[in-house]
């Protein structure tokens, strides 16, 4: 089932993920971040005649994958974000699932092929939405938000130490519409050796804000734990400290048990093959008790990356 999908995205920690998920024929698996199926298609092979239910928010990625999957594939692909898992599972007639996977990385296609500004290396419209039909583009936020709100987003979601000055410079430079305009502001504030990482922080902050990533991840985790059968396994791969803190915090709840104390990270060989994998951390939990998703969402401590509510 590879075919046209090969080359769009290199799956991170693939062998480790398949091992930890403890797959076997007949299981029902949710791939909450299906993308181009780097993990999901391999999972589908191992659980056949079971099924993989894939959630993919980006409509262009969904179109490409849908057109390439053979009719006989044991994959049910949905053009929905994982925060709409209730709706998606109802649509395919599934109540309980055996495994759930979240791979929170961004595909090479999103970075290089959408034209929505996910890379600061090219001149593009500064959109940053995974689904261009949802929410407002990043350039609208930068042009309409007040200086304090821009500073908060850069500081909280990007952990940017020059957030105050940067917000001031952004307001002064309005209107901002393209990646090069924003990159130029960041470049003027940092020496050449520090510019790439600074831009990565700024882009991360805006992308998280525009897509409501942390709020949606909390909801997605709560819903996945609701639908996961007792004894089922939740696996999640994160790529920055905010996501990892959210996933690590699950260990404090009695309805799950961590499968290992420290996260699994890529080998030096994998990092050499795929440098984008270097920050990946894999955590996994087995479900041991029932979960009320609505109660979890009201619990400010659940899957929260901050000591107090700032999202």
- Residue 223's alpha-carbon distances to 54, 89, 131, 209, 295, in angstroms, are 15, 10, 21, 21, 11
265 lies in some domain: yes
Residues 119 and 141 in one domain: yes
Task: For residue 12, give the CATH number of its domain.
Answer: 3.40.50.150
Residues 94 and 129 in one domain: no
Task: Tell me which residues of the chain have a pLDDT lower than 70.
Answer: 1-9, 111, 113, 307-311
| pLDDT at residue 1, as a whole number | 44
Cβ-count burial of 61 within 10 angstroms (0-12 exposed, 13-18 middle, 19+ buried)? buried
180 lies in some domain: yes
248 lies in some domain: yes
Tokens of 141: 């936020």
Residues 64 and 157 in one domain: no
Task: For residue 201, give the CATH number of its domain.
Answer: 1.10.150.170
Residues 203 and 225 in one domain: no
| pLDDT at residue 226, as a whole number | 97
Residues 12 and 103 in one domain: yes
Domain that holds residue 174: 113-213
Place of tokens 């922080």: 201
∠ CA 86-104-193, nearest 5°, is 155
Choosing from 148, 178, 213, the residue where a domain stops is 213
Tokens of 109: 């296609």
122 lies in some domain: yes
Give the chain's radius of gyration (CA, Å).
19
What percentage of the chain exceeds 90 in pLDDT? 88
Choosing from 172, 195, 213, the residue where a domain stops is 213
Residues 100 and 220 in one domain: yes
Choosing from 197, 213, 229, the residue where a domain stops is 213
Residues 207 and 225 in one domain: no
91 lies in some domain: yes
304 lies in some domain: no
What is this structure's pTM? 0.93
74 lies in some domain: yes
Residues 77 and 146 in one domain: no
Number of structural domains in the chain: 2
Q: Model confidence over 52-106: pLDDT tens digits?
A: 999 999 999 999 999 999 887 899 999 999 999 999 999 999 989 999 999 998 8
276 lies in some domain: yes
């Amino acid at each position: 089932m590879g075919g046209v999908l090969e080359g769009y995205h290199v799956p991170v920690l693939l062998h480790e993920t398949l091992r930890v998920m403890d797959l076997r024929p007949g299981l029902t698996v949710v791939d909450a971040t299906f993308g181009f199926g780097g993990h999901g298609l391999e999972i589908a092979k191992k659980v056949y005649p079971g099924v993989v239910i894939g959630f993919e928010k980006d409509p262009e990625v969904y179109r490409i994958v849908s057109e390439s999957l053979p009719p006989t594939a044991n994959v049910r692909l949905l053009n929905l974000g994982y925060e709409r898992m209730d709706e998606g599972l109802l649509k395919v007639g599934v109540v309980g699932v055996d495994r759930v996977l979240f791979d929170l990385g961004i595909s090479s296609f999103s970075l290089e092929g959408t034209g929505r500004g996910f890379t600061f290396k090219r001149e593009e419209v500064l959109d940053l939405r995974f689904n261009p039909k949802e929410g407002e583009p990043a350039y609208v936020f930068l042009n309409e938000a007040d200086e304090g709100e821009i500073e908060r987003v850069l500081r909280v979601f990007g952990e940017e130490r020059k957030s105050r000055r940067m917000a001031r410079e952004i307001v002064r430079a309005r209107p901002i519409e393209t990646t090069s305009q924003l990159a130029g502001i960041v470049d003027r504030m940092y020496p050449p050796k520090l510019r790439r990482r600074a831009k990565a922080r700024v882009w991360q902050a805006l992308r998280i804000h525009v897509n409501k990533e942390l709020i949606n991840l909390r909801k997605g985790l709560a819903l996945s734990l609701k639908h996961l059968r007792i004894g089922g396994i939740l696996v999640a791969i994160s790529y920055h400290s905010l996501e990892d803190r959210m996933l690590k915090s699950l260990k404090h709840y009695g309805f799950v048990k961590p499968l290992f104390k420290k996260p699994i990270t890529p080998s030096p060989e994998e990092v050499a093959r795929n440098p984008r994998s270097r920050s990946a951390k894999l955590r996994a939990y087995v479900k041991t008790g029932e979960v009320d998703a609505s109660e979890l969402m009201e619990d400010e401590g659940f899957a929260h990356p901050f000591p107090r509510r700032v999202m």
